[in-house]
Amino acid sequence: MLVHTDYLWFKTQKRQEFVRITDEIAEVVNKSGVKEGTVLVSAMHITSGVIVNDWEDGLIHDFQTWLEKLAPAGQDYRHHQTGEDNADAHLKRTIMGHQVVLPITNGTLDLGPWEQVFYAEFDGRRKKRVIVKVMGI
Amino acid sequence: MLVHTDYLWFKTQKRQEFVRITDEIAEVVNKSGVKEGTVLVSAMHITSGVIVNDWEDGLIHDFQTWLEKLAPAGQDYRHHQTGEDNADAHLKRTIMGHQVVLPITNGTLDLGPWEQVFYAEFDGRRKKRVIVKVMGI
Amino acid sequence: MLVHTDYLWFKTQKRQEFVRITDEIAEVVNKSGVKEGTVLVSAMHITSGVIVNDWEDGLIHDFQTWLEKLAPAGQDYRHHQTGEDNADAHLKRTIMGHQVVLPITNGTLDLGPWEQVFYAEFDGRRKKRVIVKVMGI
C-alpha cells in the first residue's frame, strides 16, 4: 500500500475566489505512483472549501450570488465579537463542503465528463493550504 | 490491500428523483471481498448527488420542497446563457453532497439503524453514472 | 495495511448541541498504530452530523441561528405524518454534512491551525453513535 502526501498553497487576490485545481491534483496522483485508490483533497483552513462541479464562468457567478443570499456577509454575527469579520465565510464553506475524495483508476483521476475540482476561497488575500493525500496500490 | 471498482448507471424518468441504492452498494462490497475498509460512492455528474438519510416518503418530499425553496428552478441564472437550464440542479446537489464514504466492518456495510444510501437526481431523464470504489483488506 | 474501528457514543442534554471531539479522534488514531493514512468519522444516525470548523462559542451560536433560519423546526413537514417531529434535524444535518475524512501524517491528525472536529446533534437527548475508522500504514 502506498500513501503519498502533498500540500497546495493559495493566496487569492480577492476575498472570494474560485480556483481550478484538477490538474494540480492529477499531478500529485501521478507523482504518487498509485494506480488504484483514492485521493483526499481537503482545505486546512476553515473559511475555504474544496468542491467538484462544472468549471463554467456563469455558474461560478451563480454560486457566488447564491451563497451571498444564503449566508450574507456584513451581518451582526456573534463571531464578530472576537474581532473577526468572516463569519459568513465559515457558513459559505459549510454549504459548499471543505473536502472531496476522488477515485483513481488505472493511474488517473476517475472523473465524469464535466467534473472539475476547485478550491473555493471565502476569506482570501492570505496564505492558505490544502492537503492532498493519495492512498492505494 | 484490495481495491475494487464498479459503476452504477441511472436514467430516471423524472427530472428530480431519489433512488435507494443501499442494496446495490452492499452487493459491490460483497463482490470485492473486502472485510475491513471503506467504500466511496460518488456521483460522476455534477447535477446529481449521493447521500445518506432516512428512506421515508414524507421526508423525501420535504427534502425536495426545501431544496426548491433554497435553490429554485426557473430563475435568471447566468449559467443559462450557455444554453443550459439546470443551474438549480448544480446548487441543489451542492447542498445535498455528491459523495459518501461508507465504513465496512466484518465484510458488511457498517451503517446505523436508519441509514440508507440514496442517489439524488436533479436533472434526470438521461444516462448518468456513480462510481463505487471499495478499499480495504 | 492497518484498519482500526472504534465508536463514540453521545447522549446530549439538549436537543441541539455541538460537541468537540478532536481529542477523542486523535486518541483512536494513536491507538490504531497508523502513521500515514486517513480516518473516517461518520455519524451513524441521520439527524446528526460531523464537521470541521472553528471551535468558537460565538460562531457556534451563529451556526445554530443560521440553521434555524434555513431549516426551521416546527413547520408542517410531511415527515411528521409518521409521528416524528424532527424533519428539521434531517435538513440541518444535511447542510452541515454527516462525515469527514481526516488525514494522518507522521502518526498524528494533519489538521490546519484552526481545524477542530465536532459532533453536531440536532435531535438529541438519546444515545447516538459515531463510527471512527482508521486506515493506513
Helix axes of A87-96 and A57-70: crossing angle, nearest 10 degrees: 120
Q: What is the mean pLDDT of residues A31-56?
A: 98
- pLDDT at C2 (0 to 100): 98
Reported as a single tens digit per residue, the pLDDT across C61-85 is 999 999 999 999 999 999 999 999 9
Touching check for B13 and chain A: CB below 8 Å?
Answer: no
Dihedral angle, C-alpha A40, A44, A45, A50, nearest 10 °: -20
Q: In what order do the strands lie in the sheet with B48-53?
A: B17-20, B116-121, B48-53
Confirm or reject contact between C68 and chain B (CB < 8 A).
Answer: no
Question: What's residue A34's pLDDT?
Answer: 98
Contact B6, B132 (CB under 8 A): yes
Mean pLDDT of C97-110: 98
* ipTM of the complex in this document: 0.97
* Residue whose C-alpha cell is 493559495: A10
Domain ranges of chain B: 2-73+83-136
Phi then psi for residue C97, to 5 deg, are 95, 145
The angle at the Cα of C60, spanning C59 to C66, to the nearest 5 degrees, equals 85
How far apart, in whole angstroms, are the C-alpha atoms of residue A34 and residue B50?
25
pLDDT in tens, B102-117: 999 999 999 999 999 9
Q: Does residue B87 belong to the interface with chain A, where contact is any CB pair within 8 Å? A: yes
Q: Match domain B2-73+83-136 to its CATH number in 2.60.120.460, 3.90.79.10, 3.40.50.150, 2.40.430.10.
A: 2.60.120.460
DSSP code at position A36:
S
**Min distance A65 CA to chain B CA atoms (Å):** 10
Report pLDDT for B71.
98
As a whole number of angstroms, the distance between CA A31 and CA A7 comes to: 13
* Interface check C100 vs B, CB under 8 A: no
For residue B134, the cross-strand partners are B4, B39
**From B42, B82, B97, residue closest to A97, measured CB to CB:** B97
Indicate the pTM of the whole model: 0.98
- The string of DSSP letters for B31-44 reads HHT-SSEEEEEEES
